[in-house]
Amino acid sequence: MPLLVLPQIRFILIQNRAGKTRLAKWYMQFDDDEKQKLIEEVHAVVTVRDAKHTNFVEFRNFKIIYRRYAGLYFCICVDVSDNNLAYLEAIHNFVEVLNEYFHNVCELDLVFNFYKVYTVVDEMFLAGEIRETSQTKVLKQLLMLQSLE
Amino acid sequence: MPAVSKGDGMRGLAVFISDIRNCKSKEAEIKRINKELANIRSKFKGDKALDGYSKKKYVCKLLFIFLLGHDIDFGHMEAVNLLSSNRYTEKQIGYLFISVLVNSNSELIRLINNAIKNDLASRNPTFMGLALHCIANVGSREMAEAFAGEIPKILVAGDTMDSVKQSAALCLLRLYRASPDLVPMGDWTSRVVHLLNDQHLGVVTAATSLITTLAQKNPEEFKTSVSLAVSRLSRIVTSASTDLQDYTYYFVPAPWLSVKLLRLLQCYPPPEDPAVRGRLTECLETILNKAQEPPKSKKVQHSNAKNAVLFEAISLIIHHDSEPNLLVRACNQLGQFLQHRETNLRYLALESMCTLASSEFSHEAVKTHIDTVINALKTERDVSVRQRAVDLLYAMCDRSNAQQIVAEMLSYLETADYSIREEIVLKVAILAEKYAVDYTWYVDTILNLIRIAGDYVSEEVWYRVIQIVINRDDVQGYAAKTVFEALQAPACHENLVKVGGYILGEFGNLIAGDPRSSPLIQFDLLHSKFHLCSVPTRALLLSTYIKFVNLFPEVKTTIQDVLRSDSQLKNADVELQQRAVEYLRLSSVASTDILATVLEEMPPFPERESSILAKLKKKKGPSTVTDLEEAKRERSVDVNGAPEPAPASASAASTPSPSADLLGLGAAPPAPTGPPPSAGGLLVDVFSDSASAVAPLAPGSEDNFARFVCKNNGVLFENQLLQIGLKSEFRQNLGRMFIFYGNKTSTQFLNFTPTLICADDLQANLNLQTKPVDPTVDGGAQVQQVVNIECVSDFTEAPVLNIQFRYGGTFQNVSVKLPITLNKFFQPTEMASQDFFQRWKQLSNPQQEVQSIFKAKHPMDTEITKAKLLLGRSSDLGQHSLKKLILTLQTLWALASSTPKPPRLDACCVWSRICKLRCTGSRCAQARTLFPRGYVTYCRSSFNPMQAVGLCVLFPCVSATLGDHTAHSTMEHLSTCTSSLGPGRGWDTKGLLTGTTAGLPVQGGPGSMKSRQPVVQSTN
């Protein structure tokens, strides 16, 4: 019985077109230099692609699934054996939640509320796996937490 | 600033962030940050106790500064303080800071764990969630130790809130991945499986991930998950698009959960229970049917979600590989996607079809799409899509379409992206070889490859074409003619010169009858390229020239003139100079008989797995090379088959001598022709990869390992953090190794634990003893570990040294093979010849004799067989012959050193046979370049003609086979023997070279075996 490679999100990155990181969430151990290198490499491979290209890029031993929203690239790095479209839509699901939570999200929301974005991520992705997919449930939870402030 | 206007944030933080954003330069930013850091520091140090809000705000600022890429070296304690706050927002910032800036300070860890413990026990779902998320984000071993027992309880407790269960499931998954040993299976496992039935789909989503991972490692224990997953899946796929409400995404019911369930099922074979199996088949059919239904929405989200499930279903169908009907339906569905307007779908269809191509049920169905795929190769704009098309063409290739596919790939190669050229070259080379009905087509294809993409033709590829041409005499003439024509081109690639040089050197005679390709024309053609080539190619050409001297006596003087020219004889490159000197002397001193024997045509190479295939696998990873069937078949044909009797370790009767290192194998041959056969002999396996190694070996460590086969001291491994040096000594069956671990950083290594790992079968044969080292290695410090080694019996694998430690916050894990190889325990024996033969004759016990009769795998040619008997599969120095060579050398050493004057002729004859290999073997150049120094020193010092022959004949093999200093002493020794021969003596003795010295015995231990062949059987 061949075993599947452990499916796991290696990291999630949100970058703008200039390469500024708006969110970096790591699910694997990387040291700081390595993280910086990954951030730069991802930016380099993703920004050269256009709309005719796929939303998937092979990247080292992994692959990057990414989607561009205005000036922001949302990238998820997963194992090569993982389901591309499922993660592509997971990105969109995440973006719709952010949009709802921040009422028409823009890049600045992510900058000024970076600590809240982490909470949103943890609600939807945990330990490198998809935790919750229902937008209704996530938003309900987020609003509940918001009320505690 | 929209966020601030909402009024729920921290005003000071927002102002600070704005300030940073308004900074015009990097310097201004740093200035602003330093100001802020000073401010925060003074606040933290101040006498006035900070309230929760201020503490939160400052910690959050520190976090922001850290995320900007600046180092933060304080504030951890304040963050930890926040953990015990009762306000959610303060706690959240505290946990966030801890998760992002993990610190291995043990005092802090204790405090953090304490806070987590309190929150887990708080029964407040919000606080429990924060604590669980922190564990899941950090996932350290300390946390696993503290909480691995607690979390399963939270997960399966009846009163735990759903959202906490979700977090607990994934938290446990994280701990299990990081420290599986700390998460014991128990009663909870069966209850976790039943979470698949949970009403809350979020809980099911999280639990499925956990179960999938656990099931991969413990399939038996989680077997019941199969039927539960199938029924859950079935309920989802048959539900109406609105049934699942919150979990319906663009009219697709629970797409992510469906994908996860389908992946869980891929951990198992098809269900045995027919009811479950039937239900699963229904599900898969439903998913395939839905793909044909009109879309419920035009949004791409709808089709993506639907197809995510579809592709995962197809993966499961391929994984089961048991339902032809489903496989063919899957193939047809993918066929539709091949022409879809969405690039993503075309890409995924190509990728998925690749795996379908390897199933016997769907291979034919995949082949019907060949034209579409070829078209994709020509028209796709995204290189990654074209790459998938190449992969698929490769996977669908068989004898029926090979010519078409190879032609298409060749034509694509002309315009292909540089990044994928090498891979395409490898693929073309493999397909051309595998499906060649007619080998002239194969030769043409490879020459085309070199013409189109010469730079991307790796050594493996051109080695392989030479192996094939040598092994198939029906194609040799054609190959010679074709390379001769190809070389006519004014500018041809250096790889072509290599192939051309080699083939003409071996088979130039087959076309020499044609006056248009007479010997002289062939030579002139090759020599016209000589000056444009690199040193290795020139070296190869020099070998070709000496072969020409043998093949075509009429060009001998031309070639001698070339060899004699200053540019050769005084070449600055030692290798070229050495060859020129050797070949010149050989051509002038040796008789035609000797030349003919020394430069005899190469014997066939042993058949085995294509080295190119091995390279492709290495490049792409074995799983992506799809012809697994083929690989399996090739592996089972282990041509180097019959195991050899083990060389007894000469121990009992031996006395240490200056030549004790005779067997320190100097040139571990790079063995470019693929992985060594597993059933090989002892020494051979010293060089083989230990595929079963416990941890993946550090890249590059193989090279270092090979270097240590013949030396005892040096640097074994080095990366940015760590250097491992070795010093070792061996005596008889004992050894001692000093391992030095150097911390190259300025930071401490913590939990530094080196472990020696012996594979099971190695444990019995090799005794390793060591003491643990200090778990802390200071920055810049070096620690030493002593390993005492006892060789109990012969062994093949090498032990693995695994090192684990913490550097900064990260866990490091390095594995290297420890160079303890069998040869370290070898010792030569010196004995007079009569003692030797006396001993040999004594070996008459029935147990000491071995005879086996087996059927030959290849036709027996007397000459070839003789050569093989002499030196194993002689052309194949990398493998068995190396072992035999060592045995032979060992014996010869004894013979030569014990025989006064004149030296025994049979000894010389074997030396010359060894030398012959060195002169003609394609790999000899590589092996020889490793140790040229000793020779050069020597050949300059004296030039007695006879000695020169002796040297040129003797030394290349010695220098290539033995370590530097031993080579030197060997040479000295032997040169005294040879110089005592009168000029011409020995070499002119007719029949000398054909006298066989087969089955040379290994001298030594009482347990040694005796072969039935006599030691020396001269034909005279």
Rounded to whole angstroms, the Cα distance separating B1 from B10 reads 13
Contacts of A106 in chain B (CB under 8 A): 2
Q: Output the average pLDDT for chain B.
A: 76
pLDDT at B764: 82
Cross-chain residue pair A93–B246, CB shorter than 8 Å: no
Rounded to whole angstroms, the Cα distance separating B129 from B135 reads 10
The two tokens of residue B969 are 């002493």
Cα atoms in the 13 Å half-sphere on the side-chain side of B765 = 17
Cross-chain residue pair B63–A115, CB shorter than 8 Å: yes
From chain B residues 321-350, the ones with a CB under 8 A of any chain A CB are 343-344, 347-348
- At residue B479, φ and ψ (nearest 5 deg) are -60, -45
Rounded to whole angstroms, the Cα distance separating B1003 from B227 reads 65
Q: How confident is the model at residue B491 (pLDDT cuts 50, 70, 90)?
A: confident
Cross-chain residue pair B126–A145, CB shorter than 8 Å: yes
Dump the DSSP string for B397-423.
--TTTHHHHHHHHHHHHTT--HHHHHH
List Cβ neighbours of B606 (8 Å cut-off, separation of 6 or more): B639, B640, B873, B876, B879
Pairing relation of β-strands A56-59 and A129-130?
unpaired
Residues A77-86: pLDDT tens digits? 998 889 999 9
pLDDT at B842: 74
Cross-chain residue pair A134–B212, CB shorter than 8 Å: no
Pairing relation of β-strands B766-770 and B722-731?
unpaired
Q: Is B133 within 8 Å of chain A by CB?
A: yes
Selected residue of B71, B85, B209 to mutate for chain A interface (largest A Cβ count, 10 A): B209
Option in B9, B167, B810 nearest A113 (CB): B9
Cross-chain residue pair B249–A89, CB shorter than 8 Å: yes
β strands within B662-799, DSSP E: 714-718, 722-731, 734-743, 749-757, 766-770, 782-791
Nearest CA to B351 out of B311, B323, B309 is that of B311
β strands within B226-281, DSSP E: 248-249, 252-253
Residues B553-607: pLDDT tens digits? 999 999 999 999 988 888 888 889 988 988 898 888 888 888 888 888 888 887 7
- At residue B139, φ and ψ (nearest 5 deg) are 60, 30
Q: Is B27 within 8 Å of chain A by CB?
A: no
Option in A6, A30, A53 nearest B213 (CB): A6
pTM over 0.80: no
Selected residue of A8, A29, A63, A140 to mutate for chain B interface (largest B Cβ count, 10 A): A29
pLDDT at B139: 87
Q: Is B246 within 8 Å of chain A by CB?
A: yes
pLDDT at B629: 40
Nearest CA to A109 out of B101, B90, B23, B9 is that of B9
Please give, one letter per residue, the 3-state secondary structure of B539-569: HHHHHHHHHHHHHCHHHHHHHHHHHHCHHHH
Cα atoms in the 13 Å half-sphere on the side-chain side of B161 = 13
Binding residues of B: 11-12, 43, 53, 57-61
Option in B137, B301, B382 nearest A89 (CB): B301
Cross-chain residue pair A89–B87, CB shorter than 8 Å: no
Q: Which amino acid is at B814?
A: V
The two tokens of residue B924 are 């000899």
Residues B305-336: pLDDT tens digits? 999 999 999 999 999 999 999 999 999 999 99
pLDDT at B194: 95
Q: Is B811 within 8 Å of chain A by CB?
A: yes
Contact criterion met (CB below 8 Å) for B769 and B806: no
Contact criterion met (CB below 8 Å) for B712 and B726: yes
Rounded to whole angstroms, the Cα distance separating B239 from B230 reads 14
Contact criterion met (CB below 8 Å) for B310 and B287: yes
Nearest-neighbour CA in chain B from A72: distance (Å)? 17
Angle at B536 between CA B531 and CA B542, to 5 degrees: 65
Residues B785-812: pLDDT tens digits? 888 888 888 787 888 898 988 887 778 8
Residues B934-975: pLDDT tens digits? 222 222 222 233 333 333 333 333 333 333 333 334 434 443
- At residue B84, φ and ψ (nearest 5 deg) are -90, 5
Cα atoms in the 13 Å half-sphere on the side-chain side of B180 = 8
What's B824's DSSP letter?
G
Residues counted in chain B? 1020
Q: How far, CA to CA in Å, does B129 sit from each of A9, A145, B210? A: 20, 11, 17
Rounded to whole angstroms, the Cα distance separating B618 from B463 reads 17
Selected residue of A33, A61, A89 to mutate for chain B interface (largest B Cβ count, 10 A): A89
Q: Is B104 within 8 Å of chain A by CB?
A: no
Nearest chain B residue to A108 by CA: give it.
B1
In this prediction, does ipTM exceed 0.85? Answer: yes
Number of cross-chain residue pairs from A and B with Cβ atoms under 8 Å apart: 181
Residues B227-284: pLDDT tens digits? 999 999 999 999 876 678 899 999 999 999 999 999 999 999 999 999 999 999 999 9
